[in-house]
Amino acid sequence: MPHSRLKIGVFLVGLMLFAEIIVANAASSIPLPNIPTTQFFITDYGASTSNADNASFINAAISAANSAGGGTVIFPKGTFLSGPITMKSNVNLYLADQDTLEILPYGNGNGILANTYPNNGATDQYNPFIFGQNLSNIEVSGSGVIEVSGSAWWTAYASNSSMKRPSLIRFKACNTVLITGITLENSPGVHVTLGQSSSMGANGTISYITVKAPNTSPNTDAIDTWYWNGININHCNLSEGDDNVAMDSYSQNGTITDCTLGYGHGISVGSYATAVHNITVDSCTFTNTTNGIRLKSQRDRGGSGVNAVYNLSYSNITMTNVKWPFYITSYYYTSSPSTSDPAQTITGTTPTWRDIYFKNITVTNSTYAGFIWGLPEQSVENVVFDNVQINATSRGMQTCFVDTLIFKNCSTISIPSNKGNAIYAPYDTINFSGLNPTTGASTSCTPTGIDEVTANGLRCYPNPVKGNFVNINAGNEIEKVQLYSLTGIKINEVPVKAMQFAMDVSSIPAGYYILNVLFSNGTIASQKLIKEP
């Protein structure tokens, strides 16, 4: 082998477990918008920092850009008040540094107060602030701010929970969307929504955005996705009052990578959980979130068969001061489900969770170790904890109606000795292995004999890989990538000259391999790669 620190020992074929789940790398195949370079300044169409409402002028600039075949609509420096804005295809709405786009304030709910946000014709019913439907090639970008004085909206919602508050950005059934760089603050409701219609959208990228709202603000999710195929959320900083990310029905083929999560309810699937699959979450940090990874639904909000939720992979994650680091429930509205709940007939809306893979996760100072509770008629299936260390202060992990729960590769649960068992009151959990349920010590800690050497921020995901590609990212330029068998035979070598590379592994059989990554600065890193059958 070309790397002296790489040691190959005895390989145990039995370490390969069927339940190691992997999803396709969606991010590498998601195209970005290609916007013409022509610029359209909103001030040329009548917008001004002194106007009480700039919506008509901003919309005029957007229409002009669209009519010209596309272009970038630019906000000069300053604060611009506005009511609802309608996007059009081939347009980039650009807010540079020191630009602020401010939504008009909440009025009295009837839409008759001057210079307040207009309702949609019904009392306390409001359309999104920046909206587009059935569009293609659209972008919202820059380093500016979209902000709201959200407290008046939240107070009104506390008195009338049926009101429909505007999200700051919502795109429905659109194709090729980019939202990048901007800061969103104090939305009346959800900050960004991709989808939420019966027609599928495709190819959405949300990158390098910051979302900020108080942790007490109601239902102010940072990012929601619905009916969308191809989702890439990366390098975002999200802290607000509800889900940091919620992937609802028909969210498919998505990646969430390199995100920093503060206050909020974590990265969720559901509560509408039909046909969500092939989701990878990698290299994220959670601090002070209520939940870390949360899967939530109930009997009338799920899907069975092809509409199940499956192939979810979570890797290289750290959680600190998270109340519930792992929370899977088919009883969304019930905080304490009963084991005596009678089984019901499985229908098309029965929540079905299967093939869920947790790898390389460290949890520190959580309140509870976790909660996994399926239905008596439909267990949660195939959950794997691989090299996961959970430190909880109050209680272990509660499991109920789970079929195949595996802890491997030295995974542990540690709780104070006077707080009960590591696996708390398991009920109807079958095919359990790898952990002492009383002490939380690993019973599956056999070394592979492979020393992995990391350098230059190397990340390889998904890993294990069942699809055709493994994505290789680093903080320095990659010179070339080499793939070796465990016996030291070179299988492939590819020149790269980039910091990101998707390596084709479709032709290699299932098994363990060594991935050597040689960097242009002369250093070498190596990782074990698992190819699933």
The pLDDT of residue 447 is 56
Give 28-365's CATH code, choosing from 2.160.20.10, 2.60.130.10, 1.10.3720.10, 3.30.420.110.
2.160.20.10
The pLDDT of residue 24 is 36
This prediction's pTM: 0.84
Q: How many Cβ atoms are within 10 Å of 378's Cβ, its own excluded?
A: 23
Cα separation, 221 vs 205, in Å, equals 17
The pLDDT of residue 2 is 30
3-state secondary structure of 55: helix
Low-confidence ranges of the chain (pLDDT < 50): 1-26, 28
Q: Which fold has domain 13-19+453-531?
A: Immunoglobulin-like (2.60.40)
3-state secondary structure of 125: strand
- Long-range contact set of residues 104-108: C-beta below 8 Å, sequence gap at least 24: 104/53, 105/149, 105/152, 106/152, 106/153, 106/156, 106/188
Q: What is the dihedral of CA 411, 415, 418, 419, to 10 degrees?
A: -100
The pLDDT of residue 474 is 85
- Contacts (Cβ under 8 Å, ≥6 apart) of 380: 328, 330, 353, 354, 356, 372, 373, 374, 401, 402, 403
- HEC profile for 421-433? CCEEEEEEEEEEE
Helix count and strand count (H, E) for the chain: 2, 36
The pLDDT of residue 446 is 66
Cα separation, 191 vs 224, in Å, equals 8
Query: Is residue 438 exposed (0-12), middle (13-18) or buried (19+ Cβ within 10 Å)?
Result: exposed
Question: For 464-506, how does the pLDDT look when each residue is reduced to its tens digit (9 = 90+)?
Answer: 787 888 888 888 899 999 998 876 788 999 999 988 888 999 9
Question: For 372-431, how does the pLDDT look when each residue is reduced to its tens digit (9 = 90+)?
Answer: 999 999 999 999 999 999 999 999 999 999 999 999 989 999 999 999 999 987 778 889
Amino acid at 115: N
Enumerate the domain spans of the chain: 13-19+453-531, 28-365
**DSSP-assigned letters across all residues of 398-417:** EEEEEEEEEEETT-EEE--T
- Contacts (Cβ under 8 Å, ≥6 apart) of 515: 460, 470, 472, 481, 482, 483, 484, 503, 526, 527, 528, 529
The pLDDT of residue 323 is 98
The pLDDT of residue 6 is 25
The pLDDT of residue 334 is 87
The pLDDT of residue 513 is 86
Q: How many Cβ atoms are within 10 Å of 338's Cβ, its own excluded?
A: 10
